[in-house]
């Protein structure tokens, strides 16, 4: 056997072992993104359940209003909050199914913004209806739930950043394209307003 064959087979072996190692690293990083979202998902589910538990009894479990039954502005506010919590639940289910999907994580952040705005409006109306002590307690609990999500959101975003960095590095980017590793999206806006 000539030395050129030995060099060729040695180079092939090095490339093969590098490719296996790089592929395994990408798989581990993608799994870390999924695992970190699972922890965040658990807390976000608690947020949704808690908000839905704060709704008037007639609105729990989905929209149950009869056509033309919205009697005043308070009913409309609670209906918006109910709809926003349902929208957030749907967006959360989409990210749960595909935590690597950047469009799904962007829609989750937008749905959370909508939920936060509806919550703020509901609390403002509760204060106007002289339910201020109760509204303050509810709003304090909401803020606590938002703050509890921050470390988990940071962990998810850190995992996403590491994964996106790995699939963008040369020469691993070629393996990423070959095996369909797509960039993941960060989750923003889950923090309480300043």
Q: Name which residue leads in pLDDT, 131 or 15.
A: 15
What pLDDT was estimated at residue 85? 94
Question: Residue 68 above 50 pLDDT?
Answer: no
Query: Using CA atoms in the order 70, 72, 77, 79, what is the torsion angle rounded to 10 degrees?
Result: -10
Structure pTM? 0.84
Nearest to 110 by CA among 91, 123, 96: 91
Count of structural domains within the chain: 1
Question: Residue 136 above 70 pLDDT?
Answer: yes
Mean per-residue pLDDT, 167-194: 85
Mean per-residue pLDDT, 129-141: 74
52: in domain? yes
What pLDDT was estimated at residue 77? 85
186: in domain? no
Q: Which residue has the tokens 């359940």?
A: 49
For residue 121, the enclosing domain spans 3-178
Mean per-residue pLDDT, 65-89: 76
Nearest to 94 by CA among 85, 82, 106: 106
185: in domain? no
193: in domain? no
Percentage of residues in the chain with pLDDT exceeding 90? 60
What pLDDT was estimated at residue 132? 53
189: in domain? no
């Amino acid at each position: 056997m000539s030395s050129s064959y030995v060099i060729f087979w040695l180079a092939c072996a090095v490339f093969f072992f590098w490719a296996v190692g790089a592929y395994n690293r990408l798989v581990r990083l993608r799994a870390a993104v999924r695992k970190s979202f699972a922890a965040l998902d658990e807390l976000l589910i608690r947020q949704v359940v808690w908000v839905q538990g704060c709704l008037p009894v007639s609105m729990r479990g989905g929209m149950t209003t009869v056509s033309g039954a919205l009697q005043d502005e308070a009913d409309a506010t609670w209906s918006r909050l109910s709809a926003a919590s349902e929208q957030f639940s749907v967006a959360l289910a989409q990210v749960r199914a595909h935590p690597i999907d950047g469009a799904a994580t962007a829609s989750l952040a937008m749905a959370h913004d909508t939920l936060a705005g509806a919550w703020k409006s509901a609390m403002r109306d509760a204060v106007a209806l002289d339910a201020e002590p109760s509204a303050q307690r509810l709003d304090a609990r909401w803020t606590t739930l938002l703050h509890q999500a921050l470390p988990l959101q940071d962990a998810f975003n850190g995992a996403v950043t590491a994964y996106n960095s790995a699939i963008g590095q040369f020469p691993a980017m070629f393996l990423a394209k070959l095996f369909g590793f797509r960039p993941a999206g960060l989750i923003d806006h889950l923090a309480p307003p300043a």
